[in-house]
Structure 1
């Protein structure tokens, strides 16, 4: 039986997300991001189209590396203004039954005790449809916003993240036993105090002496997403992640990253299929190749090169405003997203320039779009799944909602005809849909904190 491809819509609670400048297109609706009805309609569309989820990116700082100022980011709506993604989830969950919600939250600036409660609350309110994209941040502006001089070094942030994960695992898995809830009004007994346990932790970064405030939710721990492809990021993913996001380069390059992460996971006692891999993709499609190309040219007319450079500068930690078009870029040691710098160097060589970067950003980001008829797009998606080992795709928006309507109306039926996409949702929480069980498998590091574990899966 052919493996079914998974789709997430990739978005952010803001005007300009990945494809910089396309918010200015006259058919784009992303400027309605402050209108709750926009997100409710969005969720309904995606579920009607059998999308697996909507994945919400987030940043808690401003992209101010370019020119040493936030001015260009503000002019171009480059992920600012940006609202909290978590507050959208209950409204979207209320009008859907199956659509999942992957929420990005930066653990560097979140107390684990309060964050664990928010995730459990969302897991309850969605009936087990919540996932967490674990990030450690890459913006100095975020660190300064909470009173620090600058962010920690790249690998140090992952060391902090390992400790953070240990704390939240204990809150989710260890504090409340499975049978702690009695809910017996006749005895005025809701929870058995003997089965609710304090979590005591004292480490280099975090101290805790408390019970988890929430009773066990459908999944307990949310489905765990992670996007780091640097060496340290892969180590973290192999230990913690259930879903890993990678950016498309060449098939062999993506396959090498996927194989490496799964090998590292196996070395930690996990199974290769304990990890689903989603690749970032941008799709421009139509009934024919000609129609798709015309749509692409239409979209391209609204791209902002300055805004694209603003986003790239922040994510790579390099101020491109300092360079002429053909001046070699000095990368140095970035404290931002190391894998982005590494990917650009692989693509353009060690002496790459701003011109080479702009040549890649044809739709306002470094993600090259897939352009063509629905048949051609289906061919390409199937090739990535077969040859690189990709399980699904994080589909970034271009002009919304038409970009997702095009996929739902044209591409998904072809994938279904080929047996590559589901024709109906399966039942159960998100983890059940992805992995066949609602809770972390016994072999996952987080499950080691259970007091009364179910039989090892």
Structure 2
């Protein structure tokens, strides 16, 4: 049964670089993404998104470069295909300082981190943002990244997930198991900042990681950041439905999207969690204007600056196969690689030519494109939510910051007038804003077994903390 009162969740989808997935559009006269290395570019974007009541800014990231197409990085450098790209975690403090409610989902590849240093950095960011940090968990898919850190090639796909499981376990021990809620008391009279009896050393002896000692960061508002994941291979889905709170999917066919959603909900329940414990976001691109005709004209204008070949170069690295060797009308053969399994499997299932990919990447991106007036786009998005069961969208940029400004000006009010988008933010952390059940992970989540504190099921976690420290 369709829930017509369901509020749509919305993230802006971006990357700390010039060309995210809108390849070629950096050349548009109104595009400002060439300023990506200026802090004001990001603080202005954060304020814009908060004014539009976006739930979060989700920032993608990669380790490595796209060097598969034409066996080099010539086109990657010329078209700035995610090169140069900078560390997105460095943006959070500045953006958090100019906003109060906007969440920040930051992509970090765990394959090239140690759990301790990573957990410390994200706990620190959760403190500074007052509980607005999320982590998009990725395991990497580029051979170029392995070479950068002195390895010869990418680990086997499933081995990467074995490592990810242990990475999460140790991170949970740091975030959830080292400090009790009431460890920090700040008692000046008795000269006790932290009660030593409430802080516990971690002991971890695993296949990939070893760690002993006390976590250096006291509990942040959320303790564990909101967990995002985009794995869609069988192993990736198993990992996501065990750990993730939000899952990102792709797809432009409503029936296939609905099947993905049903599969994710079913697997989540099989993990011992509630089906609604995961929010599902679909990546989309929107070109909107005051009328349908003006939106089409804007689309034509954007396409005149886009570079579909740059999209192919990006796609080549996603599948680990050089697509420059094929003619436009040639079907792309399936080749088993250690890159993104779900993307690569498309060539098993259907005939796809180079021209098909160029058409799909006409704005450089790979997500479904919605075109029209604000009213038309709002109706299309609502229909997709109601027919597929997704919870919201990751809105990519085309021309920055124009595309997000257009969406806020034209589409958001239409969604609000239909009762499908919030008119004000909920209180609390990013987790509480999304789920409305407090700041901490639920007791059904696998992190619960590593906790050194108790959490009441009947009240939000932040209330427990206030009660215990009173």
Whether the TM-score (by the shorter chain) exceeds 0.5 is yes
Does the Cα contact within 8 Å between 1:15 and 1:80 map onto a contact in 2? yes
Structure 1 CA distance, aligned partners of 2:331 and 2:309? 18
CA contact (8 A) 2:286 2:370 kept: yes
Give the Cα separation in 2 of the matches to 1:132 and 1:385: 24
The alignment status of 1:366 with 2:366, answered yes or no, reads yes
Partner of 1:376: 376
Provide the rounded CA distance (Å) in 2 between the counterparts of 1:252 and 1:240.
26
Partner of 1:211: 214
Residues in 2 aligned to 1:447 and 1:74: alpha-carbon distance in whole angstroms? 45
Quick check: 2:70–2:322 contact (8 Å CA) kept in 1? yes
SS in 1 for 2:414: helix
SS in 2 for 1:62: coil
Q: Does 1:87 align with 2:86?
A: no
Query: Shift of residue 257 of structure 1?
Result: 1.2
Q: How does the TM-score come out when normalised to structure 1?
A: 0.97
Aligned counterparts of 2:225 and 2:454: Cα–Cα separation in 1: 17
CA contact (8 A) 1:226 1:243 kept: yes
Q: Deviations over 1:346-392 (max 9, x none)?
A: 5xx1x322122112111112223111111111111101111111111
CA–CA distance in structure 2, aligned partners of residues 134 and 366 of structure 1: 20
Distance (whole Å) between structure 1 residues aligned to residue 43 and residue 453 of structure 2: 39
Q: Is 2:467 aligned against 1:450?
A: no
How far apart are the structure 2 equivalents of 1:176 and 1:183? 15
Which residue number in structure 1 is paired with residue 420 of structure 2? 420
**3-state secondary structure, aligned to 1:234:** helix
Q: SS at the partner of 2:282? A: strand
Residue aligned with 1:371, SS: strand
Aligned length: 454
1:316 aligns with 2:319: yes
Cα contact 2:12–2:394 (8 A) shared by 1 = yes
Distance 1:321 1:14 in 2: 24
Partner of 2:340: 337
Is the contact between residue 138 and residue 336 of structure 1 (CA under 8 Å) also seen in structure 2? yes
Mapped pair 1:438 → 2:451: no
Deviation at 1:344, TM superposition (A): 5.6
Answer with 179-188 or 234-243: which moved more: 179-188
Counterpart Cα distance in 1 of 2:98 and 2:133: 15
Mapping for residues 111-190 of structure 1, pairs under 5 Å: 111-190=114-193
Cα distance between partner residues in 2 of 1:343 and 1:289: 32
Deviation at 1:201, TM superposition (A): 0.8
- The answer to whether 1:103 aligns with 2:106 is yes
Does 1:7 pair with 2:7? no
Provide the alpha-carbon RMSD of the alignment.
1.1
Measured in 2, the distance between the counterparts of 1:344 and 1:131 equals 33
- Could you tell me which residue of structure 1 aligns to residue 302 of structure 2? 299
Structure 1 unpaired stretches of 5+: none
Post-superposition CA distance 1:110-169 (Å, at most 9, x none): 000000000000000000000000000111111111111111111211111011100001
Which among 9, 27, 30 is matched to residue 30 of structure 2?
27
Which shifted more, 379-388 or 100-109?
Answer: 379-388
Q: Is the 8 A contact 1:177 1:195 kept in 2?
A: yes
| Mapped partners of 1:22, 1:447: distance in 2 | 45
Q: Could you tell me which of 238, 241, 262 is aligned with 2:241?
A: 238
Alignment partner of 1:222 is 2:225: yes
Distance 2:282 2:130 in 1: 26
Report the TM-score when normalising by structure 2. Answer: 0.95
TM-superposed CA distance for 1:182, in Å, is 1.7
Check whether the contact 2:335–2:344 (CA below 8 A) recurs between aligned residues.
no
